[in-house]
Structure 1
């Protein structure tokens, strides 16, 4: 079983990345949180990996921190929560927010995750409420915040990432307008995308 990959970053999108290790390119599915922490193309990179077998095909899911990998592993132990839905959770909520929502039984926050309804949210709380302490959050494992970019640039980048995830441009624009009204002026790209995803989940 592959536990981690260290090599050269060949390509990256908000959904996946290709990492070359000794001449072999590995296709890895990722969450937005991992995408934000990846270096520039052709840089050296390491990701922690969870391996899943689906229809006789091996799928690799990569994470920038061990906390993300552990959260993913816990989520996928729940009936009805597959790898793609677990990635959606990590794309929508930060690890601290996810743990807090589970510990406090906040079904509204968990329901903001695309693909998670009230029944799934309740199941997540029921099965993981006493297990969030397995996810450690040392500051040394958290990626450094990216420098603040001009607002228009951030909105363009956020819109592009969300459209790549399958959302339509008009609904992204509407949700982003609602999201920016709720954010502080000094918001970062990850904040904008997470908040917009929550608005999109509301419909």
Structure 2
């Protein structure tokens, strides 16, 4: 599987990009948010990818972050959500906004995306709330991290960069923040969150 591409952005379209890697152009489908994050044509880019394989096609989908790629996988795991709909959701909402909407049961936000009606939005919220329940564990911890960012958001990002999944990172940081209190430094928060995540 191709996990990421590093090269030059040679084409940026409405729903795709072409990444030139040592003279080979890779056509990559992407959300509008990812395409904006790639910057201007001719620039150096690194893009996370997911390879979709079916009987009649092989397709690469690209993401600006590993977090967005993970949400793509979660969304396409919901019945009725294909790659096009998942990219539509990720074009409308950032990964943090999707996380917040799921944690709050906010189906109206999900329904703003092209191709997502009220019934499908309800199904997405219900199914993913169960699958990523760790996000909402504790007294609003997951929602606070996603919505407010700040030092806790930075700590969650640090844990994700170390390989922890978003729900695990959010839960560990929430527990660490609760134990350390409001005056905690980022370093102390990350260190305690790492211990919490490893327990």
Tell me which interval the TM-score lies in, with the shorter structure as reference length.
Answer: 0.5 to 0.7
Aligned to 2:79: 79
Query: Which SS does the other structure have where 1:130 is aligned?
Result: helix
Whether contact under 8 Å (1:10, 1:17) holds in the other structure is: yes
TM-score (norm 2): 0.65
Q: Map 1:133-172 onto structure 2 (within 5 A).
A: 133=134, 139=154
Aligned to 1:172: none
Aligned to 1:42: 42
**Alignment deviations for residues 53-89 of structure 1 (CA, whole Å, 9 cap, x no partner):** 2442111000011111011011011111000100000
TM-score (norm 1): 0.64
Alpha-carbon distance in 1 for matches of 2:10, 2:87: 21
Whether contact under 8 Å (1:103, 1:130) holds in the other structure is: no
Which consecutive unaligned segments of at least 5 residues does structure 2 have? 136-141, 147-152, 158-199
Which consecutive unaligned segments of at least 5 residues does structure 1 have? 142-203
CA shift for structure 1 position 11: 0.7
CA shift for structure 1 position 24: 0.9
Which structure's relative contact order is higher, taking Cα pairs within 8 Å and 6+ residues apart?
Answer: 1
Aligned to 2:9: 9
Aligned to 1:93: 93
Aligned to 1:201: none
Structure whose alpha-carbon radius of gyration is higher:
2
Number of equivalent positions? 141
Q: Does 1:102 align with 2:105?
A: no
Pairwise CA RMSD: 2.2
Q: Which runs of 4 or more aligned residues in structure 1 lie more than 2 Å from their structure 2 counterparts after TM superposition?
A: 130-141
Between Structure 1 and Structure 2, which shows a larger proportion of helix residues? 2
Whether contact under 8 Å (1:17, 1:30) holds in the other structure is: yes
